[in-house]
Amino acid sequence: LKGQFARRAVEKSYLAIVVGNPARDRFTVDAPMRLVPGSASGVRMEVAERDALPAVTEFFVRARSADHELVEARPKTGRQHQIRVHAMHAGTPLVGDKLYLRDETVFLRAIGGALDRAGIVDAVGHSRQALHAWRATLGHPDDGSPITLTAPWPEDFVELARRLGLALPSEA
């Protein structure tokens, strides 16, 4: 299994609730990424041309409301925070993302204990990033036959989608 992940032979799909509503149903972000030089948190990534590693993510809009979308994200590479950074780069940051929805201030205040759950929700719209590792397809370790594993929707994700007027796909 580890070898399949290393060879990028595992197809991964994530579901995310994002801010924004562009007029496209499918798009690809092909944008190299690196750690932000001098990042106050030490973990914030950015799209950059210099000193960056290749990163590609395909996005599929699954549902829309007035100001939000439910998207399926399929990373083709495996960079730290890739889906979050590419969603932000596309102009549709994840609801609840303390590190990328705004600047690092919310994240630093949250990890420092200066924001409680209500303060986080007030700052970024949800208590955590609205990102769910939904589906993975890989080869069975014994015979290589394809296996698709899915994870059910977390309750808070379902509630957030309903509150934002996003219809959830039946196959999820």
pLDDT of residue 117: 95
Q: State the Cα–Cα distance between residues 62 and 39, nearest whole angstrom.
A: 33
Residues 6+ apart with CB under 8 A from 5: 78
> Looking up tokens 């798009």, which residue turns up?
27
Nearest of 72, 77, 76 to residue 87 by alpha carbon: 72
Q: What is the pLDDT of residues 50-82, one digit of tens each?
A: 999 999 999 999 999 999 999 999 999 999 999
Predicted structure pTM score: 0.92
**DSSP output for 65-112:** -SSEEEEEEEESS--TTHHHHHHHHTT-PBTT-TTTSS-THHHHHHHT
pLDDT of residue 168: 82
Q: How confident is the model at residue 172 (pLDDT cuts 50, 70, 90)?
A: low
Q: What is the pLDDT of residues 94-123, one digit of tens each?
A: 999 999 998 899 999 999 999 999 999 999
Nearest of 9, 27, 8 to residue 18 by alpha carbon: 27
